[in-house]
A and B are shown apart, each in its own frame.
Chain A
Amino acid sequence: MLKLRDVRISFPSEEGVLVPVDTVDLDVNRNETFTIIGESGCGKSLIANSILGLLPKDAQVSGRIYLEDDDLLTLTEKALKRIRGRRVGMVFQNPSSSLNPVFTMRSQLAEIMKYSGKSATINKMTEITKSVGIDDPIRRLAQYPHQLSGGFKQRFAVAFGTASDPDMLIADEPTTGLDITIKIQLIEMLAQLHRERSILLITHDLDVAYTLSDRIAVMYAGEIVEIASASAFFSRQFHPYARSLMDSHPSRDMKPIPGTAPHISQKVEGCRFNDRCEYGHACCCNKHPELVQVDVDRFVRCHAYA
Chain B
Amino acid sequence: MKITINRSMSIGLLLAGVMVLVALFAPWLAPNDPYQANLDERLVSPTLTATSEYPLGTDHLGRCILSRALFATRISLIIGISVISLSLFTGTVIGAVSGYVGGVVDEVIMRVVDAFLSFPGMFVALAVAGIFGGSIIGLVVALALVEWTVFARISRGSVISVKNMDFVLASRSMGAGNLHILRYHILPNITSPLLVIATLGMGYVILAAASLSFLGLGISSYPELGMMVNDGRYFLQSAPHVMFVPGMFIVSIVLGFNFIGDGLRDIFDPKDTKQRWRVF
Contact = CB atoms under 8 A, between A and B. Distances in A.
Interface stretch (B25-33, B57-65, B271-279): B271-279
B119 interface: no
Contacts of A41: 277, 280
A43 B276 contact: no
Contacts of A18: 277
A56 B280 CA distance: 11
B277 A264 contact: yes
B274 A14 contact: yes
Interface in B262-276: 273-274, 276
A13 B273 contact: yes
- A interface residue count range (under 10 / 10 to 19 / 20 to 34 / 35 or more): 10 to 19
Interface in A1-45: 13-14, 18, 20, 40-41, 43, 45
Contact of B280 (A13, A14, A20): A20
B273 A43 contact: no
Interface string A265-298: 0000000000000000000000000000000000
A46 B280 contact: yes
Contacts of A56: 276
Contacts of A13: 273-274
Contacts of A46: 280
A43 B274 contact: no
* Majority DSSP secondary structure for residues of B touching A: helix
B255 to A, nearest CB: 30
A41 B277 CA distance: 8
A204 to B, nearest CB: 12
Interface in A40-61: 40-41, 43, 45-46, 56
A279 B280 CA distance: 30
> What class of interface size applies to chain B in its complex with A?
under 10
A13 B4 CA distance: 14
A20 B280 CA distance: 10
A47 to B, nearest CB: 11
Nearest to A11: B276
Interface string B155-196: 000000000000000000000000000000000000000000
B146 to A, nearest CB: 34
Contacts of A20: 277, 280
Nearest to B276: A56
A45 B280 CA distance: 7
A40 B274 CA distance: 17
B232 to A, nearest CB: 49
A40 B277 CA distance: 11
Of B274, B276, B277, B280, most buried by chain A (CB within 10 Å of CB) is B280
A107 to B, nearest CB: 29
Contacts of B273: 13
A56 B277 CA distance: 12
A230 B280 CA distance: 25
Nearest to A15: B274
Nearest to B4: A14
B1 to A, nearest CB: 14
Nearest to A56: B276
A46 B279 CA distance: 11
A14 B273 CA distance: 10
Nearest to A42: B280
A20 B277 CA distance: 10
B106 to A, nearest CB: 24
Contacts of B276: 56
A18 B276 CA distance: 12
A195 B277 CA distance: 36
Interface in B224-280: 273-274, 276-277, 280
Nearest to B278: A41
Contacts of A264: 277
A13 B276 CA distance: 11
B270 to A, nearest CB: 15
Contacts of B274: 13-14
A40 B280 CA distance: 7
B132 to A, nearest CB: 48
A260 to B, nearest CB: 15
B2 to A, nearest CB: 9
B274 to A, nearest CB: 7
Interface in B38-91: none
Interface of B: 273-274, 276-277, 280
Given A13-B274, A14-B274, 12 more contacts: A13-B273, A18-B277, A20-B277, A20-B280, A40-B280, A41-B277, A41-B280, A43-B280, A45-B280, A46-B280, A56-B276, A264-B277
Q: 6 closest A-B pairs (Cβ-Cβ)? A: A45-B280, A46-B280, A264-B277, A41-B280, A20-B280, A56-B276
